[in-house]
A and B are shown apart, each in its own frame.
Chain A
Amino acid sequence: MTGDLKIRAARTTLLQKIKRSGASYAMVAPFMLLFIVFMVVPVLMAVIYSFSNYNVMEAPRFFSFRHLFDNYLRLFLDDEVFMISLKNTMLFAVITGPVSYVACLLIAWFVNDLKPKLRAAATLFFYAPSLSFNVYFMWKYVFASDANGFLNSTLMRLGFISDAFPWLNDTRTTLMVVIIVQLWMSLGTAFLAFIAGLQGIDRSLYEAGMIDGVKNRWQELYHITLPSMKEQLLFGAVMQITGSFAVGAISGEIVGKPSPLYSAHTVIMHMEDVALTPRFEMGYACAIAVVLFAITLSINQLIRYLLNRKSDRTL
C-alpha cells in the first residue's frame, strides 16, 4: 500500500517536472533534434546496416542469424587493404596521439612563462596551423618527388643526395610525410586548453611548494602543475585521441588516393573507397565505421580511466 503510493507520487512528480520544464526543452530542442537526426541516427544506422549487404540500388537485405557477422568476418579475414589501413591508422594514433599530446603540454608550459605580449604572439604562432590547416597543401611542394621540390632541391644543394628522392611516392616515406603534416596541425584545442589551464593555477600553490621543498621546474610540473590542471589534461586527451584516429582526407590529398601500395591508406579512406562509386557497398562500409567507432570510443574511455586512476594516486 505505502509502496504503491510512493510509486504514484514519484510518477506524478516526474510528469510534473517534465511539464514544468517546458522552457528548458524548448531551448535544447533546436540543437538536440538536429543532433539526434545527424549524429545519433547515423550511428544507429551504421550499426544496423553493418548486418546487411545494402548497396543503394536495392533495398537492404539483412543477413540471416548464421551469417549475421559476415561483413565483420570479411573485414578481418578477407580484406587485405582493410588490415593495412587498420595498421596505418593504429600507427598514426600511437605516434601522433602521444607525441602531439606531450608537445601540446610542453609547448604550453614553455609559452606560459613568456611575457604576456610575447605569450599571445607565440600562442598564435603555434595555433595558426590548426586555424588555417588548408595551407597543408604547401607541404606537397615541400616534399615534392621531383628535383623542384623544396626538400629535394635543398638536400641536393647541400650535397646530401645527388638525385631527387620520391618522398611522396616511395612506400617507405609516405606514411612518415603524412605523420609530419598531421603533427604540424595537431596543436589544436588541447593546446589552448593547456595554456588556459596553466594560467588558471593559483600562484600561491607554487609558493607553498617551494616551502615544502620543490627544487626545480620538473618537480614543480609533476607535483603541483599537472595535478592542478587534471581536468584540462583529461579534456586534452580526448581531443587528441579523437583527432589522431580521424586521419583521412589529408593523407589522400598529400600522398594520393590510394597511396602507393596503400602505404598511407587509413580506415576512413578505406571506408570511403568502399562506399563511393563504383562499389556502393554501404553495408560493408558501415561495418568499417562501427569498428572505427568502437576502437576510438574504447581507447578514449581507457585513457580516461587510466588518467583518473593515476591522478587519484598522486593527489
Chain B
Amino acid sequence: MTIIRRIRYKKVGRKATRSRMGNAFVVFFLVLLAAFMSFPMIYTINTAFKPMGELLKFPPDFFVQNPTLQNFQNLSNAISNSTVPFTRYFFNSFLVTGLGTALHVLMASLAAYPLAKHKFPGRSFLFMLVVLSLMFSPSVVQVPQYLQIHSFGWLDTYQAIIIPMLINTLGLYLMKQFMEQINDAMLEAARIDGAGEFKTWWYVVMPAVKPAYLTLTVFAFKDFWNNIGPVMMYISSESKKTLPLALTNIMQGGIARLGSTAVVGLLLMIPPIVIFLATQANVIETMKSSGMKD
C-alpha cells in the first residue's frame, strides 16, 4: 500500500518531499509550540477544578489531582463586594457581544457590496481610507474618542462600548475582497428580474458570501467578547460591567480567589473557541481572498 502510494506520488510529482529528519524536526517543533500556546488554557482548566487544598498547596501542582466543582458553586460568593448578581456580567457580555456582532456584520456587508460591485464617484477613495485604517491600531485615537463619548453624554452607557467598535474596518475589508469574486452575471440576472439593489444584496449577494459573513461573525464576536480597554474606560456602574471586567475585579483577591478567577477565565475562554470550531472551514475560505493588491 505504502509502496503504491509512493510510486503514485512520484509519478504525479505532487510536491518536493522533506527528509525523514526534517519531518521529525517539524513534528517536534509543532508539539513544543502547541504546548506553549495551550499552556495558559490547560492551566486555567486544571485550576478551575482544583479543590481549595490544592489551590493553596506549595509547591503548586500543574494538573488537578481531585477535580471538584467547588469553585463553580462558589462563584456567586467570589464577586462578594459587588451589588449585582454575577449572572448580570454574563447578561451584559452577551448583550454587548450579540448586539455589536449583529450590527457590525450587517453594516459591513451592506457597505462592502457597493464597494466591491458598483462604480460610483468616491468609491476608491473610501476603500483607500479603509485600507489606511488597517495600518494603525484604533487605540491610537482613544483620547479624542474619549472626548467624543464624553461630549455625547455616553459615559457609562452600553452604546459607548458598542458603537465605536462597529466600524472595525478589517471586517469591511475582508467582506469587500470576498464579494469581488461574485459572478456579475448573477447580479445582472437579479436586476433584469426587477430586483432593486437592496433586494439584490439580501437575496443574491448575502447567500453567496456565507463564508465571509460567518467569518466576520467570528472576528466580531471575539473582539466584543474580549473587549476590555474601552469597557474599563467608559463603564463605571457595576450593573453595566462585562465579564472581562468582573475577571479583573476577582483577580484583585489574589491567590485566595485563584479558583474563582480560573472559573471565570474558563467561561470566558469557551464561547469564542466554540464559534470558531463551528465555522473554521468558512474562515479559511474567506481568508483566501484576504490578499492586498497594489
Residues of chain B having any CB pair with chain A under 8 Å: 12-18, 22, 26, 29-30, 33-34, 36-41, 43-44, 47, 58-60, 62, 107-108, 110-111, 113-115, 118, 120-121, 123, 126, 129-130, 132-148, 163-164, 166-167, 169-170, 172, 196-198, 201, 219, 222, 226, 228-229, 232, 244, 247-248, 251, 255, 258, 261-262, 265, 268-270, 272-273, 276-277, 280-281, 283-288, 290-294
Contacts and interface: CB of A to CB of B under 8 A. Distances in A.
Contact of B115 (A28, A111, A122): A28
B14 A275 contact: no
A14 B268 contact: no
A24 B287 contact: no
B140 A296 contact: yes
Contacts of B118: 21, 23-24
A27 B126 CA distance: 13
Nearest to A234: B292
Nearest to A218: B16
Interface string A239-264: 10111011011000100000000000
Contact of B33 (A27, A126, A156, A285): A126
A283 to B, nearest CB: 10
Contacts of A235: 290-292
Contact of A124 (B136, B269, B270, B276): B276
Interface of A: 14, 17-18, 20-21, 23-25, 27-28, 30-32, 34-35, 37-43, 45-46, 49, 56, 107, 110-111, 113, 120, 122-142, 147-148, 150, 153-154, 156-157, 184, 187, 189, 192-193, 195-197, 199-200, 203, 206-207, 209-211, 214-217, 219-220, 229-232, 234-235, 238-239, 241-243, 245-246, 248-249, 253, 268, 271-272, 275, 282, 285-286, 289, 292-293, 296-297, 300-301, 304, 308
B60 A217 contact: no
A39 B34 contact: no
B203 to A, nearest CB: 15
Contacts of B44: 135, 138
Given A27-B110, A189-B170, A197-B291, 13 more contacts: A27-B113, A39-B133, A43-B144, A113-B26, A124-B276, A142-B43, A195-B284, A234-B291, A275-B146, A282-B147, A293-B136, A293-B141, A300-B136
28 contacts: A17-B121, A18-B120, A24-B118, A31-B111, A35-B129, A35-B133, A35-B169, A42-B144, A110-B29, A124-B280, A132-B226, A132-B270, A138-B43, A150-B60, A189-B170, A189-B219, A189-B287, A197-B287, A197-B291, A200-B288, A206-B15, A209-B16, A211-B13, A220-B15, A246-B139, A296-B140, A300-B135, A304-B292
